[in-house]
Amino acid sequence: MRHQGKVALVTGGSSGIGQAIACRLGREGAKVAIADVAEAGETLALLQESGSEGFAARCDTSDPHQVASFVAQVGERFSPPQILVHSAVVQFVRPFDELSLEDWRRTQAVNQESMFHLLKAAVPGMKARRWGRIIAIASSTFFVGAPAMTHYVTSKGALIGLVHGLAAEVGPFGITINAVAPGLTRTRKAQADLPTELFRQIVALQCIKRNGTPEDQAAVVSFLASEEAGFITGQTILADGGQGRT
């Protein structure tokens, strides 16, 4: 119960990595608030099965007004969030030559500008308590690239820059901020959208010869959100099975 008594806000918690994170934090004692544009009933049911307390609301995290409203709801329902995990994502494959400005702006708005809105809404409460854990879900593609995903790689790189830049400002208040950069992860969406051969190809490039799972990422996030990780900040943790280091 390493997160007993803590309130965690998880974006993108209706499925995939975000869902695994919400469930892991809940099982370890946190009260979990899920912000997602999709309905999160499945995640809430999983939290309930494990005896965890949580609630969810539809929230477009690229809208600062919706974010401020949601964070206020969390405070009214539980208390201001002490753990913030930004996992909401726009991800699709499209060559740069075919990418529209609308595609580009939507990707940046959800993947990285949302983090700005979340921080503006949640950090004051953390500063008041002089304790906080902030984790951004980035991507290993920032380090290795990805064909036809320049928009996505750029947005995740911006998250890493934000984490590295903000650490010095929030550290004096007992707040840590880090990024987790997953490799290719076998979520239901990834399995539906990507060819099976790609999963085999990526495993061949990894030191650890299996596909990554959402639970792998949730374990890293849970540690970074804990008291034990209180001296780790401004870091990007590559959770990619050692891709490219064989």
Q: Which amino acid is at 22?
A: A
Catalytic residue among 78, 143, 152, 199: 152
Q: What is the pLDDT of residues 69-95, one digit of tens each?
A: 999 999 999 999 999 999 998 888 899
CATH code for residues 7-239:
3.40.50.720
How many Cα neighbours within 13 Å face the side chain of 125?
24
- DSSP of the chain, one letter per residue? -TTTT-EEEEETTTSHHHHHHHHHHHHTT-EEEEEESS--HHHHHHHHHTT--EEEEE--TT-HHHHHHHHHHHHHHS-S-SEEEE---------GGG--HHHHHHHHIIIIIHHHHHHHHHHHHHHHHT-EEEEEE--THHHH--TT-HHHHHHHHHHHHHHHHHHHHHGGGTEEEEEEEE-SB--HHHHHHS-HHHHHHHHHHSSS-S-B-HHHHHHHHHHHTSGGGTT--S-EEEESSSTT--
Instruction: From first to last of the 246 residues of the chain, give the pLDDT tens digit.
Output: 899 999 999 999 899 999 999 999 999 999 999 999 998 899 999 999 989 999 999 999 999 999 999 999 999 999 999 999 999 988 888 999 998 999 999 999 999 999 999 999 999 999 999 999 999 999 998 888 888 889 999 999 999 999 999 999 999 999 999 999 998 888 878 777 777 888 888 888 889 898 989 999 999 999 999 999 999 999 999 999 988 776
**Amino acid residing at 233:** T
Domain regions of the chain by residue span:
7-239
> What pLDDT does 9 receive?
98
80 is catalytic: no
Q: How many CB atoms lie within 10 A of CB 210?
A: 11
Tokens in use for 182? 């997953």
**What global pTM score does this model have?**
0.93
Express each pLDDT in 99-121 by its tens digit: 899 999 999 999 999 999 999 99
Q: Report how far residue 94's alpha carbon sits from residue 100's, in angstroms, rounded to the nearest whole number.
A: 10
* Cα atoms in the 13 Å half-sphere on the side-chain side of 245: 11
Phi, psi of 115 (to 5 degrees): -65, -40
